[in-house]
């Protein structure tokens, strides 16, 4: 099965900073990748699908890029409401594995 | 409004059976895959499996194959996740979610607690 590895596992940044989270697949998955945000005690929320398509209603400071095995989620200007854990997920074929998550905090 | 509404919290004993549900509304339930996702306390998201209600095509994660059964009933627009014999390690939050270009609509989650 294809493994999804996120890095870093956690990060702390200041409000207004540019934040980048990486997700690497152990084999190529084309652009079949999504990013989710989960705030503490809340339901996960889709941010990005097909590696770079912004889900409706998601702020434009979130963006995704990549194809094949290497993918990136970028928050262009970190806001206090972005404190959450972020997960990538592949969906080119079963099993649709999630990454282990990246916890984002405010410094 | 497109939504998935899950059944309520459950408290069970080890060895008991359980079936939880996920009812879709506001869209054509038969035509979208429904996934089940587990989140154990303080841990990350785990993909359990997925079903296409239109023809009941079902795929399981190897980690959950044989441990749970996923089903769907299009007549009531409901997907289900069931266990025949619960273990304490099944204690978790369980989410259903619709596949529409990523998992775009999520249920509110069902907490399952298994304790003697």
Indicate whether A44 pLDDT > 90. Answer: yes
Q: Which of residues 46-105 of A touch B (CB under 8 A)?
A: 46, 48-50, 53, 55, 85, 87, 89, 91, 94-101
Confidence at residue B68, expressed as pLDDT on a 0 to 100 scale = 98
Question: What is the distance between the alpha carbons of residues B87 and A101, in angstroms, rounded to a whole number?
Answer: 26
Q: What is the mean pLDDT of residues B5-22?
A: 98
Chain B positions in Cβ-Cβ contact with residue A89 (cut-off 8 Å): 45, 47, 102-103
Indicate whether A94 pLDDT > 90. Answer: no
Confidence at residue B41, expressed as pLDDT on a 0 to 100 scale = 96
Q: Three-state SS across B31-47?
A: HCCEEEEEECCCCCEEE
What are the angstrom distances between the C-alpha of A37 and each of A44, A75, A85, A89, B115?
6, 12, 6, 11, 30
Residue A97: which pLDDT band, with cuts at 50, 70 and 90?
very high
What are the angstrom distances between the C-alpha of B106 and each of A42, B13, B112?
11, 27, 17
Q: What are A100's two structure tokens?
A: 């282990």
Contacts of A56 (CB under 8 A, 6+ apart): none
Confidence at residue A61, expressed as pLDDT on a 0 to 100 scale = 98
Q: What is the mean pLDDT of residues A74-83?
A: 98
Chain-wide mean pLDDT for chain B?
97
Residue B84: which pLDDT band, with cuts at 50, 70 and 90?
very high
Q: What are B58's two structure tokens?
A: 């079902």
What are the angstrom distances between the C-alpha of A25 and each of A45, A96, B55?
21, 12, 30
Residue B57: which pLDDT band, with cuts at 50, 70 and 90?
very high
Confidence at residue A1, expressed as pLDDT on a 0 to 100 scale = 87
Of residues A93 and A82, which shows the higher confidence score? A82
Question: What is the distance between the alpha carbons of residues A82 and A38, in angstroms, rounded to a whole number?
Answer: 10
Residue B101: which pLDDT band, with cuts at 50, 70 and 90?
confident
């Amino acid at each position: 099965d294809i493994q999804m590895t996120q890095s870093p596992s956690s990060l702390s940044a200041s409000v207004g900073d540019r934040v980048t989270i990486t997700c690497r697949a152990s084999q190529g998955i084309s652009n079949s990748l999504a990013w989710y945000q989960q705030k503490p005690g809340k339901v996960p929320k889709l941010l990005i699908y097909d590696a770079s398509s912004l889900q409706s209603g998601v702020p434009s400071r979130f963006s995704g890029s990549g194809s094949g095995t290497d993918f990136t989620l970028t928050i262009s200007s970190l806001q206090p409401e972005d404190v959450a854990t972020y997960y990538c997920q592949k969906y080119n074929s079963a099993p649709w594995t999630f990454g282990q998550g990246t916890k984002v905090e405010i410094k | 409004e497109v939504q998935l509404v899950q059944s309520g919290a459950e408290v069970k004993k080890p060895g008991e059976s359980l079936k939880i549900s996920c009812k879709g509304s506001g869209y054509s339930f038969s035509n979208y895959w429904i996934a089940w996702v587990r989140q154990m306390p303080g841990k990350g998201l785990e993909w359990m499996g997925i079903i296409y209600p239109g023809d009941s095509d079902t795929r399981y994660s190897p980690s959950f194959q044989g441990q749970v059964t996923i089903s769907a009933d299009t007549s009531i627009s409901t997907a289900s996740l069931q266990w025949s014999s619960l273990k304490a390690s099944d204690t978790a939050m369980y989410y259903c979610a619709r596949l529409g270009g990523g998992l775009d609509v999520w249920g509110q989650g069902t907490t399952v607690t298994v304790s003697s």
